[in-house]
Chain A
Amino acid sequence: MKEMVEYLVKSLADHPDQVALAEHETDDSILLELKISPDDIGKIIGKNGNTINAIRTVLQAAASSQRKRVKLEVVS
């Protein structure tokens, strides 16, 4: 799960080395907190949040294949 977001974000970011992803897991849900370089935030969120929402959608599909819930937040 985490690797997937990492792969996606790193492929899209200008500063892949500044991508940090924290994972907080509770019983049946996972919270992913994404930290990226301020220059990349806009790019990862995308117009109208299109890109971050696409990442979330794909992530949810991946999570539901493992019967889990997952949330992805961009933190700064």
Chain B
Amino acid sequence: MSVLEFEEKTVEDAIALACQEFKLPREKLEIEIVSKGSSGIFGIVGAKKAKIRVAPKELSLDGLAERGKEILTEILRHVDLPTVIESELKEDQVCLNIISNGTGLLIGKRGKTLGALQHLVAKILHREVGENVSVIVDTENYRSKRETSLTELAQQLSEKVKKSHRSLTTGPMNAQDRRIIHLALKEDLEVRTKSKGEGNLRRVVIYPIRRGKKPQPVAALEE
């Protein structure tokens, strides 16, 4: 990212200005002091301005994980729960695991709270580094449990579709859940999957494939 120069009466003022300009806290800036500046004699004669050169610090992936952990800790500080957060990097994804007392309060209905925390951490991180960071927030293995049950659901639905030769639709799901369904049935050659609908109401439709015949017209059935 860009390097900018700032001139102010004192180094402190210049740094403050730089923070404002980059909209970043001081720790996130690489600051090089070009000249310290002096107030001159009686602050009139020979006054020199302080000059600094500033660039935003590039965050490494490890740094991102660490920062994600800090953000999440800050958010959860205000929730009346004992929480410890572990951060980990998995294939360029920042994984944050919340260890708590297991009340499910942080999961919410169908993972709503967990999803909200994830959205907010990702958004704040994105704002700070200027690029999209994929963040996963998990607690009590909720995500992996959900993956298992969704994969099971996908398998059951696909069996039904194969028997009845009619397409079936899942309930509304978020992108993460839909992805699990698509992946679960990717290898299955007798059905194909497609997402349908808009926004929060997107669902996965599972169609039968019959050899030598065109797929039947879609009759979207409620799950």
Contacts and interface: CB of A to CB of B under 8 A. Distances in A.
A58 B83 CA distance: 15
Given A57-B112, A57-B116, A62 B124 contact: no
Q: Place the interface of chain A in its size category.
A: 20 to 34
Contact of A7 (B23, B75, B117): B75
A50 B81 CA distance: 25
Nearest to A7: B74
B179 interface: no
A76 interface: no
Contacts of B115: 54, 57
Contacts of A11: 71, 124, 127
Interface in A33-68: 46, 48, 50-51, 53-55, 57-58, 60-62, 64-66
A74 interface: no
A65 B119 contact: no
Interface residues of B, number: 24
A29 to B, nearest CB: 17
A64 B105 contact: yes
Interface in B86-117: 105-106, 108, 112-113, 115-117
Among A1, A55, A58, A66, chain B packs the most CB atoms within 10 A around the CB of A58
Nearest to B112: A57
Interface of A: 1, 3-4, 7-8, 11-12, 14, 46, 48, 50-51, 53-55, 57-58, 60-62, 64-66
Interface of B: 23, 71, 74-75, 77-81, 105-106, 108, 112-113, 115-117, 119-120, 123-124, 127, 199-200
Complex A-B, nearest 4 residue pairs according to Cβ-Cβ distance, in ascending order: A57-B116, A4-B78, A54-B116, A65-B80
